[in-house]
Amino acid sequence: MISKSELRKTARTPTRLDKVDKAGASLSGRAYQQIRDEILRGDLSIGDVLSRRRLAKRLNMSFLPITEALKVLETEGLVESRPRIGTRVRVPNEQDIRDSNVIREALESQAARLSAQNMTAEDKKQLRTSARHLDQLQKMCAREHADSRFLFSVHTYHMEFHMRIAELSRSPGLRRAIEKEQVLIFNWLYDIAANQRTLPEGFHSTLAEALCSGDPLVADTAMRVHVQYGLDQVLERLANYDGGDAWRLKSTKS
């Protein structure tokens, strides 16, 4: 079984720093990564106001790199702005969540079909191992009080598991589409916001077995069931977020 300490050492944060700075060395690149990580850890919640002044002070930067980072995050759909009001972590509406789910299902079910056809014996062994580790980690999250950094690492591991399936499709274009649409990032964000941690026993191992069956139809069906799981719960919990009144004028001075 993979441990917390092992996960923290090996899990890497999925990044899209190419939009700011490929080396990640610029101030705007570092600001982007820091703010993005805080959103995905849940340290910054859906609807939280993002004051440029406070961010600049906390990150010890000027307004310019903070502004550039927020612009990238806005193009990626993680934050939103209103003229003369300010910027906040984006509050998705029901249609946003359903659309993201539809796109994810379409892309990942195709990745499942292709990976079922193309996996080698070694690929199957590695996928089963990763799925088993992921199930163990998510069970740990459900039964104990997990800190935000550990949850962040588990979500990272989860995203890497699904990106591995995309790679096993042997279709670089499909993998790029999954990454570009950020369907896994949005799923991560919605799960964090909805506090969804409880999953069926062997949730990812069951999916892995379907993918390893060699039958594209079995793999396709299993992935669709997998992607759809918990959607109603996420919609119900995120319905509590107010898409309009949550904007607080007095808190958005930048």
pLDDT 10s digits, 215-231: 999 999 999 999 999 99
Q: How confident is the model at residue 112 (pLDDT cuts 50, 70, 90)?
A: very high
**pLDDT band, residue 149 (cuts 50/70/90):** confident
DSSP 110-128: HHHHHHHHH--HHHHHHHH
pLDDT of 19 reads 47
Structure tokens at 155: 């979500």
Backbone angles phi, psi at 81, to 5 degrees: -130, 155
Largest CA distance in the chain: 59
The pTM is what? Answer: 0.84
Residue 52 has pLDDT above 70, yes or no: yes
Contact 96, 195 (CB under 8 A): no
- Residues 196 and 202: beta-carbon distance below 8 Å: no
What is the mean predicted confidence (pLDDT) over 161-174?
97
24 touches 16 (CB < 8 A): no
**pLDDT > 90: percent of the chain:** 64
pLDDT surpasses 60 at 188:
yes
Q: Which domains does the chain have, with CATH numbers?
A: 20-91 (1.10.10.10), 94-238 (1.20.120.530)
Residue 3 pLDDT: 58
Helix axes 52-59 and 63-75, enclosed angle (nearest 10): 120
Answer yes or no: are the C-beta atoms of 203 and 138 closer than 8 Å.
yes
Instruction: Give the N- to C-terminal CA distance of the chain in Å, as an integer.
Output: 47
Check whether 132 has a pLDDT greater than 90. Answer: yes
Task: Give the span between the Cα atoms of 234 and 191, in whole angstroms.
Answer: 7
What does the pLDDT look like over 75-99, one tens digit per residue?
999 999 988 778 999 989 999 999 9
Q: How many C-beta atoms surround the C-beta of residue 254 within 10 A?
A: 16
Question: What is the rounded CA–CA span in Å between residue 52 and residue 60?
Answer: 11
